[in-house]
Structure 1
Amino acid sequence: MKKSGAPYTVLDSAAFKRQYPMLNYPSDYGGIYDPDGGLLRADRALNALQALFKRYGGEIRDGQRVVQVTPEGQGRVTVRTERDVFVTRSVVLCCGPWTSDLTSQLDLKLQLQPVRISVCYWKESSQNSHSYKKLPTFFEEKCCAGHAIYGLPSEEYPGCVKLCLHHGPEIHPDRRDVVDDTWVRRSLSQYVQRHFPGLEPTPAVVETCIYTNTPDRHFILDTHPQWKNIVIGAGFSGHGFKLAPVVGRVLSQLAQGKDPSYDLTPFRINRFCPSAQL
C-alpha cells in the first residue's frame, strides 16, 4: 500500500484493542487499516448493471446453458445453447467453474480448479455491535491450517457477521454438494470462539459458492491462442467481483480487437505454459 501511495494506518496491539474492543486477539496482534475498504452490495450492483446494459440495447438471455462454441471461417464464432444458435464476430467466455469444460472443446486445457466455499453467517450473541460502523471488512492470512479467513460486518443478514474460510474442497461444479466440508465449519467455529466472543459459535446461516482458482490466484484475461476473436475471462479465485468494471473494460477491448488499457501480461494464458497449452 505504501508503494502504491494508498492511505492506510498501522494499528499496534493497543490501538487494535481500542478500536475493536469486541474482538479477542493475542497481545502480539495488530492490523493494517484501509480507509478505502468497504462493502459491495452485489445484488444491487448486478441489478444496476443489467438495467444499464438493457438501456443501451443489450439483451439478456437467462437460463440457457451453452453447450458448444465453434470458431468458423471469416472471423465468425457460433455459440450453441440448449435452445438457440448465435453467430457473432467475437465472443467473451466468462463461464466461472465451467470454463475448462467449454475451452476443452476448443483444444485449450486451462489450469483451473473449482473449490466449494462454505459461506457462513454468525449471529451476534451480545450487545456488542458488529455493524459496518464498528467492524470493517477484514482479512487474516494463513491463520487457519495455512489458509486465510475473511469476513464482513453484519449487514446482509441483520445481526449476523459473514465469516468464511478463503479455501475449500476441490469439486466439479455439477457435483459441488457431494463433498464433505465438515472440517471447514469446525475450523471456522474454533476461530469464532477464539476471536469473536460476541458471536454464537455455530453459524446461523450457511450458503455455498464456488471459487475457480488458478495456480497463482491471478485472473486469466486473454484471447484464445489460435482464435483471437474468442476472449476468455476466468480464474478469478474468489476476488474478482470488486474488479468487474475494469475487467469488463479490458475484455470488451480484446473482443473488439483493440489494445487493452492496461498491461495484461500477468493475466496471459501462456504464463502457465509457454506453448499456451494447445
Structure 2
Amino acid sequence: MDRTYDVIVCGLGVMGSAACWQLARRGLTVLGLERFDIPHTLGSSHGRSRVIRKAYFEDPRYVPLLHRAYELWHELEAAAEQELFVRTGCLNLGPADHPCVRGILESVRQHRLPYEVMSADEVRRRFPAIRPAEHDIAVYEADAGFLRAEGCVRALADQARAAGAELRTNERVAGWNADDRRVAVRTDGGEHTARSLVLTAGPWLPVLAADLRLSLRVERQVPIWFRPLAPERFSVGRLPVFIHFLDDRAYYGIPDDGRSGVKIARHHGGATVDPETVDRTCTADDEADVRGYIRRHLPEADGPLLDATVCLYTNTPDRHFLIDRHPQQSNVLIAGGFSGHGFKFAPVVGSVLADLATAGRTDLPIDPFRIERLRIEAQVMS
C-alpha cells in the first residue's frame, strides 16, 4: 500500500470504464479494479452490440440523459478514431394500446423528438423482413441504432488510461471499508486506499454492497445470432434495430453488419441466477424460445444458429437505475441495477459519478435513481 488515490472504481465493465474516463479527464488520480479482463464475457457489457435510442418507453425522464449520452459517445468516437455508434434507426412495434408503445409516444411528444408512426402494412412494405401482427403499429426513430459493445468498453478503458487512470485486471475485490476520510479496498493482490470509492460491479454489486441488502435480481439472458435465409433483407441499411412488444413479452433485433449475422433475443423473462454459478451455455429451450418468435415474425431469419452468449441483467424491482451515495458513507458511490437498458447511458453515468465525486452534486436528472427506494423494498421483502 504505497499510494492513496483520489478514487478507486470497482468493476470495469462499460459503466466502470466510463467512470474511470470521466474521473481521470477531470484530473483525479484513479485506480480501476477489474476481476476479469477488459472486456470480458462473464458480466453485462459484452455481446457485440447494444441498442441505443431516445424514444424511451421506460420513462420520459431518461431522455435528457440520453441527449448527453449521445454527445459523449460522439466525443469518445472522435478520441478513439473509430466507429462505435452505427445508425440504423429503431423500429418499435406493438399494439397501439400497449403500455410500452404509449410510453414511446409520450417520450417523443414530450421531448419533441422526430418520429414516424406506421401501420403494419407500411412496416411490411418498408421492411419486408418483418411480419408484424395485424393489430400492430410501429413508431420509427431515425436517430437510433446500435453500439459496438466490446469496442465501446475498450475505447472507454483506453481513454481512461490516456487520461492517467491506472486500470488493473484479473484482480478480484474481496471487500472494502470506509470512514469519512478514506476507503480501503481489499483484493487478492493486496490493499488499496483512496479518498472515495465507486462501485460499478454489475451482477456482483449485491455482494460488494451486501450491507445495504439491496433488492437486486440477477437475470440470465441469451442473445442469439442467426444466418438469415435472405441475408440482404437483414443487413445494416435494409433493416433497422427493432423492439417488438407482444402481449406478454418483448423481443429485439439488431441487423447484420457483415460480421456475425442478425442478433435476436428476448428482453427479460430469464431465470434468476447467481453470477458465480449461472449456466453460460445456450440451451435447447433458449433457442426454441427465440426461434418461435422468429418463425412468426421474421421467417427469413430462421437460418442456422451462428453463435450465442449468456449475458446478465441486474434488475431493480421497478427496473429504474440505481445511482446514488451509500447512505452511511458519503464518499462511496454506487451505480448499478441497470435492468437491461443501461449500456447506452454509460458515458453520462460516468459523468454523473464524476460530478458527485468532485462537486458533491450533479445537474443531470438522477432523482428517480435514489437508493432509498430499493432499501425499503428489501426491508419489506425480508
TM-score by length of 2: 0.67
Please name the residue that 1:258 is paired with. Answer: 360
Question: How many Å apart are 1:127 and its aligned residue?
Answer: 5.0
Question: How many Å apart are 1:75 and its aligned residue?
Answer: 1.5
Cα separation, 2, equivalents of 1:70 and 1:87: 10
Cα separation, 2, equivalents of 1:64 and 1:264: 31
1:162 to 233, 256, 263: 263
SS of the aligned residue for 2:278 comes to helix
Cα separation, 1, equivalents of 2:122 and 2:244: 17
Please name the residue that 2:159 is paired with. Answer: 52
User: Are 1:226 and 2:328 an aligned pair?
Assistant: yes
2:372 to 270, 273, 278: 270
Which AA in structure 1 matches 2:115?
Y
1:200 to 302, 308, 315: 302
Question: How many Å apart are 1:156 and its aligned residue?
Answer: 6.9
Please name the residue that 2:189 is paired with. Answer: 83
Moved more, 229-238 or 35-44: 35-44
Please name the residue that 2:244 is paired with. Answer: 140
SS of the aligned residue for 1:175 comes to coil
Which AA in structure 2 matches 1:88?
A
Aligned residues of 1:113 and 1:170 also touching (Cα < 8 A):
yes
Cα separation, 1, equivalents of 2:367 and 2:339: 18
Question: How many Å apart are 1:50 and its aligned residue?
Answer: 1.7
1:101 to 181, 204, 207: 207
Cα separation, 2, equivalents of 1:29 and 1:274: 38
Instruction: Tell me how many residue pairs correspond in the alignment.
Output: 271
User: Are 1:71 and 2:173 an aligned pair?
Assistant: no
Please name the residue that 2:226 is paired with. Answer: 122
Aligned residues of 1:114 and 1:170 also touching (Cα < 8 A):
yes
Please name the residue that 2:141 is paired with. Answer: 34
Aligned residues of 1:124 and 1:200 also touching (Cα < 8 A):
yes
Cα separation, 2, equivalents of 1:122 and 1:130: 10
Aligned residues of 2:232 and 2:238 also touching (Cα < 8 A):
no
Question: How many Å apart are 1:99 and its aligned residue?
Answer: 0.5
Cα separation, 1, equivalents of 2:280 and 2:118: 42
Structure with the bigger percentage of helix: 2
Aligned residues of 2:228 and 2:303 also touching (Cα < 8 A):
no
SS of the aligned residue for 1:129 comes to helix
Which AA in structure 1 matches 2:209?
T
Query: 1:188-241: per-residue Cα shift (whole Å, max 9, x none)?
Result: 111111111212255321111101011011110001101011100000111111
Aligned residues of 2:325 and 2:331 also touching (Cα < 8 A):
yes
SS of the aligned residue for 1:149 comes to strand
User: Are 1:184 and 2:286 an aligned pair?
Assistant: yes
Query: 1:131-150: per-residue Cα shift (whole Å, max 9, x none)?
Result: 1201111112245xx22111
Cα separation, 2, equivalents of 1:161 and 1:117: 17
| Alignment RMSD (CA, Å) | 2.0
Cα separation, 1, equivalents of 2:213 and 2:354: 23
Question: How many Å apart are 1:246 and its aligned residue?
Answer: 0.8
Cα separation, 2, equivalents of 1:137 and 1:191: 16
Cα separation, 2, equivalents of 1:111 and 1:101: 12
Cα separation, 1, equivalents of 2:376 and 2:336: 19
Which AA in structure 1 matches 2:228?
E
Which AA in structure 2 matches 1:206?
A
SS of the aligned residue for 2:145 comes to coil
Aligned residues of 2:253 and 2:265 also touching (Cα < 8 A):
yes
- Report the CA distance shift for 1:54/1:189 in structure 2 as closer, same or farther (over 3 A): same
Percentage of pairs with the same residue: 35
Cα separation, 1, equivalents of 2:280 and 2:351: 37
Which AA in structure 2 matches 1:190?
G
Cα separation, 2, equivalents of 1:270 and 1:224: 10
User: Using CA pairs below 8 Å that are at least 6 residues apart, which structure has the higher relative contact order?
Assistant: 2
Question: How many Å apart are 1:182 and its aligned residue?
Answer: 4.4
Aligned residues of 2:173 and 2:185 also touching (Cα < 8 A):
yes
TM-score by length of 1: 0.91
1:174 to 270, 276, 285: 276
Aligned residues of 2:239 and 2:255 also touching (Cα < 8 A):
yes
- Report the CA distance shift for 1:4/1:232 in structure 2 as closer, same or farther (over 3 A): same
Moved more, 16-25 or 170-179: 170-179
SS of the aligned residue for 1:97 comes to helix
Question: How many Å apart are 1:274 and its aligned residue?
Answer: 4.9
